[in-house]
Structure 1
Amino acid sequence: MVDEQAATVRLTVAQAVVRFLANQWSERDGERRKLFAGCFGIFGHGNVAGIGQALLENELGADEQERLPYILARNEQAMVHTSVAYARQKDRLQTWVCTASVGPGSTNMLTGAALATVNRIPVLLLPSGTFATRVASPVLQELEQPYAADVSVNDAFRPLSRFFDRVTRPEQLPSALLGAMRVLTDPAETGAVTVALPQDVQAEAYDWPLELFAPRVWHVARPPAEASRVAAAAQLVRASGRPFLVAGGGVHYSGAEEILAALSESTGIPVGETQAGKGSLTHGHPQLVGAVGSTGTTAANALAAEADLVIGVGTRWSDFTTGSRTAFQDKGVRFVNLNIAGFDAGKQAGLSVVADAREALTALRHELEGWAVPQEYRDRQASLRAQWEEQVESAYHPSQEVTRGLAEGLLTQGEVIGVVNELSDPRDVVLCAAGSMPGDLHKLWRVRDRKGYHVEYGFSCMGYEVPGALGIRLADRTRDVFAMVGDGGYLMMPTELVTAVQERLKVIVVLVQNHGFHSIGSLSEGLGSQRFGTRYRYRDGGSGRLDGAPLPVDLAANARSLGAHVIEVHSRGELEAAVKEAKGAPADGGPVVIHVETDPTVYAPDSGSWWDVPVAQTSHLESTGEAYQRYVGHKATQRHLLTPAEDAQA
């Protein structure tokens, strides 16, 4: 009901939330877009009569401009993953809302919230809560704490969110929503945003000022770099002999790929890529030396080890990127950090340039006009790159010596990656999140489009793959999505295949069956723990250990039962045919699952780098003792990286 004289409208809190969200827009570089593409949800007694009822009214009565489409998900964690993948594919300029019910429904979103915040990706979470009035406490699914009556499970979102609020009165809603939008559209502060809504408050009516629901545009800023900081960075570059640039996810989010390509080509500075930054330069660029760090290429890691100056662009410097601080070995190495977030720009004692990546690189290129590395340094890059490309080819097309040792019907993981890479279109997207596959993709995948690579490795969350593929397909239906997932990751969250069937979303899932946790199995072996607890096996009747025969789990049948079209392959030729069939499937035909078995003991080429995972310092197991000695050797090369970059200007 609208009161024209008072310029108010009477709505429930939930109805006001939905109407407000449908009228939010983001803008960057003059281009406007809806901030929220829609709402994912699973209803229970906490939100079915609140947000659920409001979404129903919106679906039945709102015009196209104020529509907030609803999609029913199957798992609350998964719907957050889908939203994150969508937002990343949209360069963080659009996202989804996620609503869940009281108790377990809401806490299921916690992992997704952590993933979003770790990766600096915007997603809005609306967890329901118990009664603000407490009139019927304790209610079904309520957490009771004897020391604090106002604590609920939703407090667990506080450390996982970049913004948190709980609306216990209707009057609090406007400030909560405006605060949420501010953080969602802040490129430096963004992440999971949580507005907790008690179930009775959702249903409470209030007279809202009409201006709350007016279309509102949120500008996504491009902060320029301070001229003095750019000049200082350029001075360090000009004084260096072996500069090396690390491209992170910030390159993609700012759309800085073209200026990075121009800068690196004109100066000859080689470029290594983080997981989030892979694709910052496309395959074949003369300065691209590939992935850097623990899952990197030998080319990038050799240049990183020799670098006397490292320029980080849009990276948060995770341990995989730095090889747990063993990747950069020059005694005088300095760092320059170009980052929109001051928190990340200040790492590694680097010279901090706080700015949008595109703006900072543009300014730096201007300052470096006429300067370039010596030709010998370009030649070394080309030589190292060519050597690595030979290793990629050997992984894509393994020799007869390798394939002869495989059991019938088994392929190598590198071979599977190679077939998909070579038969997919340049604009298709490969997606992964956990296990050995992300590392192999980081090393081996040849990216041919700025949005062609999507590996979630900030949180490395098993189960992200299938829901993440949905998010990418929703963001861009002109691209096929290949979700590469091992059996361990698949079993974590296959249920969103049902959502893909429901929404007729064509996603191609390459399901790699190796009967266990491939990555952790090999890590366990390297750490002297003998792959303990990492293989899917029967418990042996004699030994009592999980080292019996492989479990007869039929994942192809599982995927088929969820409504997916399944193709089972047992040879390279069958895999090639399956990829072509999947590519040719109808755009609205729903998910396609390609089931292939691989040998987990055939590894991709080694990166020559290291990752710090502590080993037991004492043990009666010989394997653990040997592993500890190797660990001590690696620790000796670990560095604090505390040398101030500013000192080099003196």
Structure 2
Amino acid sequence: MSTIKLTVAQAVIKFLNNQYVERDGAENKFFAGCFGIFGHGNVAGLGQAIQQQNDLKYYQCRNEQSMVHTAAAYTKMKNRMSALVCTTSIGPGATNMLTAAAGATINRLPVLLLPGDIFAKRNVSPVLQQLESGASQDISVNDCFKPVSKYWDRINRPEQLIYSLPEVMRILTSPSDTGAATLALPQDVQAESFDFPEQLFQKKVWKIQRTRPDSSLLSEAIKLIKSSKKPLIVAGGGAHYSESLGVLKTFVDTTHIPVAETFAGKGALRYDDPHNLGAVGATGTPGAVEISKEADVVIGIGTRFSDFTTASKTAFQNPNVKFININVSEFDSAKHNGLMLQGDAKVILEELLESLRDFQVPKEYQDEVKNYNLSWDSKVSEIYGKRHKELMSQGEIIGSVNDFSDENDVVVCAAGSLPGDLHKLWRTKSSKGFHLEYGYSCMGYEIAGGFGAKMADPDREIYVMVGDGSYLMLAQEIVTSIQESYKLTIVLINNDGYKSIGSLSRSLGSQGYGTRFVERNEGQVVTDSVNGQVVKTLPVDLAANARSLGAHVIECNNFDELQAGLKEAKNIDKTTVIYTECDRYEGVDGYSWWEVPVAECSEMETVQEAYKDYSENKKKQKLYY
């Protein structure tokens, strides 16, 4: 067997460069590049290997958490058929990735993490940034990645790579079991050489299978659908990742079964398709909420049925409702005691369609769905068109961006009150036009995620919508977007605090306590000016901050200025921040219940009233046997 002498780091990079994926005859290189910050834990290992081999493009970033967010957004846009690598040194560089690693795993998005690690030899322990344990010497901060990774390993000997690297690829290319894969690389081992078998570095094509369900379960599903009167499809992210949307469109045009969309599933149909009920669950449209209550068969396509999708298990009220779960994951396909159609969404829809070509839902049901679609669109126009004398509402701001954006433009968001309003209000014109990270709803994802989306498809305009709370957590990748010439248009909305949690707090009787960005008043944390308190907002200039990071900044004080700002931004060739302010108390009506526990006993009358409402809503929750 012929061998090649390489360091461990060089072997890792050489291996990654020869990994390919193929689905439906289309083949592409899997890894598109590597994000990293080189510190003492990886500078002479992975840093040297990338520099020397120069065939895995290196991207410098400003924050380790944001690099993983960027990688997750990139692979989401690529339907998981391409990915990015993220490397850091040991210590805070590594642990900074933990938050985003959890997000990637929760959202089923493949990201490869290569954190440096402490010395395997232990001869100079404790090294800088080493977490010491009195119970074991075989532990480092990288052990924290175990619960948030779909695969985890530590390479203490060079030859372990031969067995670990293929396992990493198995996880990253798995439609059902993907997420963050973590390979911890001790800093001394990274630089060690070994005679690796050349066969390890031959081109490898990982074929993404389109698995088919059990035929008897498929027959049961067909019978169940044919016997239904008010079936409903809930489209999740898996409908996108399987590239099943063309078949889904044919399926609903044939059967007229309506579709409601999760955050990850939004864009499964165009917003104006008569079968599209829009957002489902806690942030659902009136049509999706009412149809969900009455549905006798719910067909989930690539959805996890999270608490937002089910409105904390209050959405589906039909006492005889049945679930058909189309999902590549056995874990997700078994939820709600559903009929498990485990497999690829595209081929399952194709097989269902063959047997349902003569099936249609009743005409009155079709008309009801169509009317819901049209009436909600009218409501959206009303919200978009509402004008305030002073501060704009969030609905107005969303409407301005949505109306201005083109067919293939993308809106990116993740946390706060914006995602719920976007889920309800955004008129999605293309399948990738709505990019929300809501499995983890991680504050700080927005700008890094927008950068990843732009990297995945540079021809699209990317509109990042972010509130001041999220912006202050992670804005640094503005610098990286400018360095790499990937233009973003960032709509930065100043709410003077946490608008979403402020609203939630008030709904729970807690009066917005601790959610405003204001100066202290007589030593007390101020709650809300709505209660008659005079508050003084902090003298923070977010527009100046964005300008200092290199962005072009446009400040807008009203709707007309916002419209003009969007037009100006379109003609600017670098990342542009459109800064505006928002009425934190003007919201969008019609949200369903979402369970957030309320204090069972309290001296506050507002909390007592909120607990009564909470108790009533709890009675609507259902278990599905």
The residue aligned with 1:460 is 441
CA drift at 1:382:
1.7
> Using a 3 Å threshold, how does the CA distance of structure 1 residues 227 and 628 change in structure 2: closer, same or farther?
same
- 2:260 aligned to which of 265, 269, 272: 272
* 2-structure distance, mates of 1:14, 1:544: 51
Distance 1:58 1:580 in 2: 43
C-alpha separation in 1, matches of 2:179 and 2:403:
35
Deviation of 1:543 after TM superposition, in Å, equals 4.4
Aligned amino acid, residue 612 of structure 2: Q
Match of 1:603 in 2: 587
Partner-residue secondary structure (3-state), 2:560: helix
- Residue 319 of structure 1 pairs with residue 310 of structure 2: no
Kindly indicate whether the alpha-carbon contact (under 8 Å) linking 1:37 and 1:96 is maintained by their aligned counterparts in 2: yes
Candidates 380, 383, 405, aligned match of 2:371: 383
Q: Which residue of 1 aligns with 2:550?
A: 563
Q: How does 1:323-334 map to 2 (within 5 A)?
A: 323-334=311-322
Pick the aligned partner of 2:11 from 9, 16, 19: 16
Determine which of 99, 104, 111 is the counterpart of 1:111. 99
* Alignment map for 1:494-513 (pairs within 5 Å): 494-513=475-494
Per-residue deviation, 1:385 = 2.0
Instruction: Report how many aligned residue pairs link the two structures.
Output: 619
Instruction: Give the conservation status (yes or no) of the 8 Å contact 1:538–1:546.
Output: no
The DSSP-based 3-state class of the residue aligned with 1:510 is strand
Q: CA deviation at 1:542?
A: 5.8
Q: C-alpha offsets along residues 18-57 of structure 1, whole Å, 9 cap, x if unaligned?
A: 1111111111111111110000001111001110111110
Task: Map 1:350-389; keep pairs closer than 5 Å.
Answer: 350-389=338-377
* Amino acid in the other structure paired with 1:604: V
**Aligned with 1:49: secondary structure?**
helix
The answer (yes or no) to whether the contact 2:518–2:526 under 8 Å persists in 1 is no
Distance 2:507 2:272 in 1: 34
Contact 1:165 1:194 survives alignment (8 Å): yes
SS, match of residue 366 in structure 1: helix
Matches within 5 A, 1:112-127: 112-127=100-115
The match for 2:148 among 160, 164, 188 is 160
- Deviation, 1:9, is 1.4
Secondary structure, in 3 states, of the residue corresponding to 2:281? coil
Inter-partner Cα distance in structure 1 for 2:488 and 2:48: 31
1:225 match: 213
Residue 441 (structure 2) pairs with residue 437 (structure 1): no
Which residue of the other structure, out of 583, 592, 595, is the alignment partner of 2:570?
A: 583
Contact persistence 2:235–2:300 (CA under 8 A): yes
Distance 1:428 1:383 in 2: 27
Who is 2:531 aligned against? none
Following the alignment from structure 1 to structure 2, what is the Cα–Cα distance between the partners of residues 229 and 161? 32
CA distance in 1, matches of 2:62, 2:122: 30
Which segments of structure 1 move beyond 4 Å, counting only runs of 4 or more? Answer: 542-547
- Give the TM-score of the pair, scaled to structure 2: 0.98
Q: Which residue of 1 aligns with 2:503?
A: 522
* Residue of structure 1 in register with 2:172 after alignment: 184
User: Is the CA contact 2:515–2:527 (under 8 Å) kept in the aligned structure 1?
Assistant: no
Deviates more, 1:24-33 or 1:457-466: 24-33
Q: Does the 8 A contact of 1:58 with 1:68 survive in 2? A: yes
Distance 1:216 1:544 in 2: 59
Candidates 119, 122, 138, aligned match of 1:131: 119
**Counterpart residue type for residue 42 of structure 2:** N
| Aligned counterparts of 2:206 and 2:162: Cα–Cα separation in 1 | 15
RMSD: 1.0
Instruction: Determine if contact 2:516/2:526 at 8 Å carries over to the other structure.
Output: no
1:212-361 mapped onto 2 (5 Å cutoff): 212-361=200-349
User: Partner amino acid for 1:619?
Assistant: S
Specify the SS of the correspondent of 2:43.
coil
Q: Distance in 1 between matches of 2:289 and 2:127?
A: 56
Q: Distance in 1 between matches of 2:335 and 2:256?
A: 25
Q: Indicate conservation of the 8 Å contact 2:514/2:525, yes or no.
A: no
Amino acid at match of 1:526: S
Which residue number corresponds to residue 62 of structure 1? none
Q: Tell whether the 8 Å contact from 2:602 to 2:608 is kept in structure 1 after alignment.
A: yes
Contact 1:310 1:334 in 2 (8 A): yes
**Map of 1:629 onto structure 2:** 612
In the other structure, the counterpart of 2:86 is 98
Q: What's the CA shift string for 1:100-133, capped at 9, x where partnerless? A: 1111100011111100000000000001100001
Query: In structure 2, what residue type is equivalent to 1:295?
Result: T
Number of the residue aligned with 1:35: 30
Is this contact kept in 2: 1:539–1:546, CA < 8 A?
no
Q: Post-superposition shift, 1:544?
A: 5.8
- One-letter identity of the residue aligned with 2:213: A
- Alpha-carbon distance, 1:573 to partner: 1.0
Change (3 A) 1:215 1:295: same
Distance in 2 between residues matched to 1:543 and 1:500, nearest whole Å: 40
1:554 is matched with 541
Within 2, Cα distance between the matches of 1:216 and 1:259?
30
Give the deviation of 1:545 after TM superposition: 4.3
Specify the code of the residue in structure 1 equivalent to 2:466. Answer: V
**Which letter maps to 1:597?**
E
Residue 74 (1) aligns with residue 62 (2): yes
Q: For 1:601-620, what per-residue CA distance to the aligned partner results, in whole angstroms no more than 9, with x for missing partners?
A: 1111313x110000000000
Contact 2:232-2:298 at 8 Å conserved across structures: yes
> Which runs of 5 or more residues in structure 1 are unaligned?
1-5, 60-66, 643-650
Q: Distance in 2 between matches of 1:542 and 1:478?
A: 52
